[in-house]
């Protein structure tokens, strides 16, 4: 049975046959019919102004109006869309026509896999729809511990903190005993509120959520955050007893998910877990068939991200000012972009990384769209974390990639052989006719081998 607390990025909704189509498309490098999962950042406006917002450099204040959003959803449904994430840009619930968008998603049977919001605009109208339409998960970015901390972090009046709390309490009340939407309350730690992490935990727990996520504020592109605000390795010893305290408080409920992706912090968390007996949440299991060499990103066949001004990106992590968008849905239909040259270039690049991860990592400069995290192993957490529990998929993907790798190997060897023969003949022209005759005579045999094995021995030799 589906566990709404387990995030899958919509993967649990994709049928086996569709996954096979995706593998075939990866193997051939061709486009498939369309994304099964889309991040819709329909609104670039926000109702708060977090000092750590990583969207502040790319924000346009635009939003996709309801009629265009409806058209886009309808078009995506035709090519197999199954689920969406509503995030942003800005706050997705601050979109002026969000209720109409939620209604249309429900009408077209599109699952809302995730809504990420600060909760300030989570009105009764919206909460009712999220509960009735069984959105899988709502992440409440509360971040702060009280109104004053909220004012400091989100740079708005402190009263909005209570409004966000009231709104999420109302949603949880409406949900009652139903499992969806699973609610995740998220807090962010910096130099000024680290000491209050236990208060955060208690506040989060009082909301009766399904998970309490505690992260640290990370710097944003352009190193825009003054270093004095961020936690550093020098704070690890100060943090450890505070973290141990929340692990103790959480032993009976196991709600806490803490991840500090910074040097030294993960080791501290592991040690604090051992000391307190707190088990990490196993949210992202890995199937035995998953192999790192087949773990490259396949978002170019699976997903897309749409920003508030209509720009298209590979994923939310690559919505960066220095990446030219893959297209824009104001200029053309989504399908035209999906089948257009920029998406195809991205597919070619992802296929190269999937087929030869080591070669790609050695030559990152040959990639035009993919960035370092897409190319270097273990640099992007998003690329496979939601999929790698899928035993059958990674079994089949591994077999398909190995088949293509073998063909590429034979092709390269055949090319090399042909080049050597050519250069020999160039030096000894009297062998020219013998070479042509040999090629002619072996053609039926090579054609037979190519048909039986699929190896490229006709065109390369
Ligand atoms: S709530 Fe999110 S989108 Fe809005 S300012 Fe904060 S981080 Fe940025
Ligand atoms: S590897 Fe990561 S950053 Fe690159 S496209 Fe995939 S999900 Fe996005």
Closest CA to 174 of 136, 114, 131: 131
Counting ligands in written order, the one closest to the CA of 92 is 1
Number of Cα atoms under 13 Å in the Cβ half of residue 150: 22
Mean of the pLDDT values across residues 53-72?
88
Cα of 400 to ligand 1 centre, how many Å?
Answer: 41
Q: For 388-411, what is the mean pLDDT?
A: 95
Report residue 428 as tokens.
């000894």
Looking at the CA of residue 116, tell me the nearest atom of ligand 1: 2
Local confidence band at 60 (pLDDT 50, 70, 90 cut-offs): confident
pLDDT at residue number 411 = 80
Per-residue pLDDT for 244 more than 60? yes
Q: How far is the CA of 104 from the centre of ligand 1 (A)?
A: 25
Of the given ranges (191-200, 274-283, 366-375), which has the lowest mean pLDDT? 274-283
Evaluate if residue 158 carries a pLDDT over 60. yes
Residue 66 pLDDT: 96
The residue nearest atom 7 of ligand 2, judged by CA position, is 383
Cα 315 to ligand 2 centroid, rounded to whole Å = 6
Q: Token pair for residue 32?
A: 């498939």
Q: Ligand 1 within 6 A of 53 CB?
A: yes
Q: Is 70 in the pocket of ligand 1 (CB under 6 A)?
A: no
- Nearest Cα neighbor of 167 from 124, 197, 231 is 124
CB 338 within 8 A of CB 35: yes
Mean pLDDT of 394-422: 88
Query: Is residue 91 lining ligand 1, measured as CB closer than 6 Å?
Result: yes
CA pair distance 433, 285, nearest whole angstrom = 61
For residue 380 and ligand 2, the question of a CB distance below 6 A is answered with yes
Closest CA to 163 of 259, 77, 75, 91: 91
Closest residue by Cα to residue 393 from 150, 36, 60, 4: 36
Higher pLDDT: 419 or 212? It is 212
Q: Which residue has its alpha carbon closest to ligand 1 atom 3?
A: 90
Identify the pLDDT of residue 122: 98
**Mutate-to-test residue for ligand 1 from 62, 91, 94, 167, highest number of ligand atoms within 8 A of CB:** 91
pLDDT attached to residue 460: 58
Closest C-alpha among 104, 121, 112 to residue 67: 104
User: How many whole angstroms from 450 Cα to the centroid of ligand 2?
Assistant: 35
Q: What percent of the chain has pLDDT over 70?
A: 98
Does residue 161 contact residue 144 with C-beta atoms inside 8 Å?
yes
Residue 5, pLDDT score:
72
Q: In this model, does residue 1 exceed pLDDT 60?
A: no
State in Å: Cα 285 to ligand 2 middle: 19
Ligand 1 atom closest to the Cα of residue 90 is: 3
Q: Return the best residue to mutate from 141, 143, 152 for the ligand 1 pocket (most ligand atoms within 8 A of CB).
A: 141
When pLDDT is averaged across residues 159-184 and rounded to a whole number, the result is 97
385 lines ligand 2 (CB under 6 A): no
Closest residue to atom 1 of ligand 1, CA basis: 118
**pLDDT over threshold 60, residue 179:** yes
- pLDDT, position 61: 81
Which atom belonging to ligand 2 lies closest to the Cα atom of 380? 2
Name which residue sits closest to atom 7 of ligand 1, judged by CA: 53
Q: What is the mean pLDDT of the chain?
A: 92
Please indicate whether residue 369, judged by its CB atom, sits closer than 6 Å to ligand 2: no
Q: What are the Cα distances from residue 43, in Å, to 29, 91, 415?
A: 33, 7, 51
Q: CB of 90 closer than 6 A to ligand 1?
A: yes
Stated pTM of the model: 0.89
Between 440 and 4, name the one with better pLDDT: 440
Ligand 1 centre from 46 Cα, in Å?
A: 6
pLDDT at 423 over 90: no
Question: For position 461, what pLDDT does the model report?
Answer: 64
Distance CA 50, CA 54 (A): 9
Q: Does residue 34 line the site of ligand 2, with CB under 6 A?
A: no
**Rounded CA Rg of the chain:** 26
Mean pLDDT of 403-421: 84
The pLDDT tens digits for 247-274 are 999 999 999 999 888 889 999 999 999 9
Q: 46 CB less than 6 Å from ligand 1?
A: yes
Q: What is the pLDDT of residues 340-390, one digit of tens each?
A: 999 999 999 999 999 999 999 999 999 999 999 999 988 998 999 999 999
Q: CB neighbours (10 Å) of residue 241? A: 10
Instruction: Flag the least confident range among 136-145, 323-332, 409-418.
Output: 409-418
Q: Is 258 strand, coil or helix? A: strand
Give me the mean pLDDT over the 58-84 stretch: 93
| Average pLDDT over every residue of 390-411 | 94
Torsion on CA atoms 86, 91, 96, 102, rounded to nearest 10 = 20
Which ligand is closest to the CA of 117, given by its number? Answer: 1
């Amino acid at each position: 049975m589906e566990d709404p607390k387990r995030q899958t990025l919509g993967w649990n909704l994709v049928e086996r046959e569709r996954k096979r189509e995706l593998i075939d498309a990866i193997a051939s490098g061709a486009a498939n019919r369309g994304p099964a999962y889309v991040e819709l950042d329909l609104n670039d406006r926000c109702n708060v102004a977090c000092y750590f917002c990583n969207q502040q450099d790319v924000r346009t204040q635009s939003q996709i109006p309801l009629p265009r959003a409806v058209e886009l959803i309808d078009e995506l449904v035709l090519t197999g869309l199954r689920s969406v994430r509503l995030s942003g840009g800005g706050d997705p619930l601050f979109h002026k026509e969000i209720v109409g968008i939620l209604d249309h998603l429900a009408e077209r049977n599109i699952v809302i896999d995730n809504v990420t919001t600060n909760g300030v605009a989570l009105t009764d109208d919206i909460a009712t729809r999220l509960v009735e339409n069984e959105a899988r998960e709502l992440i409440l970015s509360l971040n702060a511990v009280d109104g004053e901390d909220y004012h400091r972090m989100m740079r708005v009046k402190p009263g909005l903190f209570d409004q966000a709390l009231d709104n999420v309490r109302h949603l949880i009340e409406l949900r009652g005993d139903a499992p969806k939407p699973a609610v995740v309350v998220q807090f962010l730690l910096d130099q000024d509120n680290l000491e209050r992490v236990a208060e955060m935990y208690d506040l989060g727990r009082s909301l009766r959520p399904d998970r309490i996520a505690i992260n640290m504020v990370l710097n944003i592109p352009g190193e825009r955050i003054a270093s004095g605000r961020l936690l550093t390795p020098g704070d690890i010893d100060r943090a450890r007893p505070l973290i141990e305290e929340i692990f103790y408080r959480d032993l009976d409920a196991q709600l806490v998910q803490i991840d500090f992706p910074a040097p030294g912090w993960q080791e501290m968390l592991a040690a604090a877990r051992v000391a307190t007996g707190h088990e990490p949440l196993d949210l992202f299991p890995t199937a035995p068939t998953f192999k790192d060499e087949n773990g490259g990103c396949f978002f170019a066949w699976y997903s897309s991200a749409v920003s508030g001004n209509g720009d298209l990106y590979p994923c939310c992590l690559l919505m960066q000012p220095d990446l030219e968008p893959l297209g824009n849905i104001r200029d053309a239909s989504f399908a035209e972009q999906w089948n257009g040259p920029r998406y195809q270039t991205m597919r070619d690049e992802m296929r190269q990384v999937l087929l030869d991860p080591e070669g790609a990592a050695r030559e990152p400069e040959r990639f035009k769209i993919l960035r370092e995290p897409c190319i270097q192993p273990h640099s992007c957490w998003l690329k496979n974390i939601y999929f790698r529990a899928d035993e059958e998929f990674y079994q089949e993907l591994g077999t398909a990639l190995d088949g293509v790798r073998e063909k590429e190997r034979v092709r390269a060897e055949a090319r090399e052989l042909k080049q050597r023969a050519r250069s020999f003949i160039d030096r000894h022209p009297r062998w020219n006719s013998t070479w042509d005759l040999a090629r002619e005579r072996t053609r039926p045999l090579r054609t037979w081998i190519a048909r039986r094995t699929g190896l490229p021995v006709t065109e390369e030799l």
